Amino acid sequence: MAPSTLDRNSSVPLYVQIENALRSSIADGEFKPGDRIPSEVSLNDLFGCSRMTVRGVLNALVDDGLLYRVPGKGTFVTEQKISARSPAYRGIREQLEQMGFTTTTELVTRRATIPGESVRTTLRTDRSVDVHEIVRRRLVDGVPVSLHRSFVPVPLAPDLATDDVVGEQLCVILEREYGLRPARTIEQLEAVAATRQEAKLLGVAEGAPLLLLEDTISEQSGTVFEYSKILFRGDRMKLHFDYTT
């Protein structure tokens, strides 16, 4: 970080000037995610201010999630999370691409199966009805960020096994090809720990925190046509909900 001179005659408080300088260094890529920033002593010398002032600035940046501390090692730049709205508003892939990210979707598995009881109950099917199970992995700029597992009753989308669920969003295919238009979505969000298989697919350690978003989607008639379970990396993604009552 280049030497910086504070404007002590400015109406902007010194701690705000220091905070703005550090924020700019992070935003400009001078300090990248995972980088250790200079110590309090070094920042004191750089800015020519009290250690208490520098410590207050660092505390504020830690509270804002831009920095994190490792006891005995120092203060580091946080990997910034991607903020996206729930898929009930707009597809995750569409949102990411509109934000300028390069996304890649990979097909992990696709099969017709008789799912477990909890999935059958959600879809309101029984053991006589086959269900499409589609698992896809989404990467942003080459890094895995989410794992999507979708269940769709075969009778409602008989040719889904041959549709391009990698090149197109599943919601678009279901509406265009099968007339399955969402009228109601029930969502459930919880924090879970990554299993060994999930950890491998998402590039995290087993037991790492994940966000699990479950969506149950039905038509105007009340027919449930899709149940999805989306796992998001807790260190890379955050979901934004906006409700008007």
pLDDT reading at 56 higher than 80: yes
> What is the pLDDT, as a whole number, of residue 121?
94
* pLDDT for residue 136 is more than 90: yes
Whether residue 21 is predicted with pLDDT greater than 50 in this model: the reply is yes
**Backbone phi and psi for residue 192, each to the nearest 5 degrees, phi listed first:** -135, 170
Q: Helix, strand, or coil here: 172?
A: helix
233/9: higher pLDDT: 233
Angstrom distances, CA of residue 123 to CA of 12, 114, 154, 187: 58, 12, 11, 14
Q: Give the per-residue pLDDT at 90.
A: 52
Local confidence band at 245 (pLDDT 50, 70, 90 cut-offs): very low
Q: Which residue has the higher pLDDT, 29 or 229?
A: 229
14-77 and 82-240 share one fold: no
pLDDT of residue 67: 84
- Per-residue pLDDT, averaged over 45-69, amounts to 84
pLDDT digits (tens, 9 = 90+) for 60-114: 888 877 888 888 888 888 776 655 555 554 555 565 556 555 678 999 999 999 9
Mean pLDDT to the nearest integer, 210-220: 91
**CA 97/CA 74 separation, integer angstroms:** 35
| CA 112 to each of CA 48, 67, 109: distance values in angstroms, whole numbers, following the listed order | 67, 46, 10
Give the β-pairing of 82-85 and 237-240.
parallel
Which of 38-52, 73-87, 149-163, 213-227 bottoms out in mean pLDDT, i.e. has the lowest?
A: 73-87
Question: Is the model's pLDDT at 44 over the cut of 80?
Answer: yes
More confident position, 136 or 140? 136
Length of the chain measured in residues: 245
Other Cβ atoms closer than 10 A to 134: 22
Tokens of 207: 């037991």
Q: Return the structure tokens found at 177.
A: 């090809």
Domain range list for the chain: 14-77, 82-240
pLDDT category of residue 134 using cuts at 50, 70 and 90: very high
Helix axes 14-27 and 40-47, enclosed angle (nearest 10): 110
> How do residues 172-208 score in pLDDT, each as one tens digit?
999 999 999 999 988 888 889 999 999 999 999 999 8
Q: How many other CB atoms sit within 10 Å of the CB of residue 148?
A: 22
Average pLDDT, the chain: 84
CATH of 82-240, one of 2.60.120.200, 3.40.50.11890, 3.20.20.140, 3.40.1410.10: 3.40.1410.10
Q: What is the pLDDT of residue 68?
A: 83
Closest C-alpha to 180, from 207, 220, 120, 209 = 220
CATH of domain 14-77: 1.10.10.10
pLDDT grade for 5, boundaries at 50, 70 and 90:
low
Task: State residue 22's pLDDT score.
Answer: 87
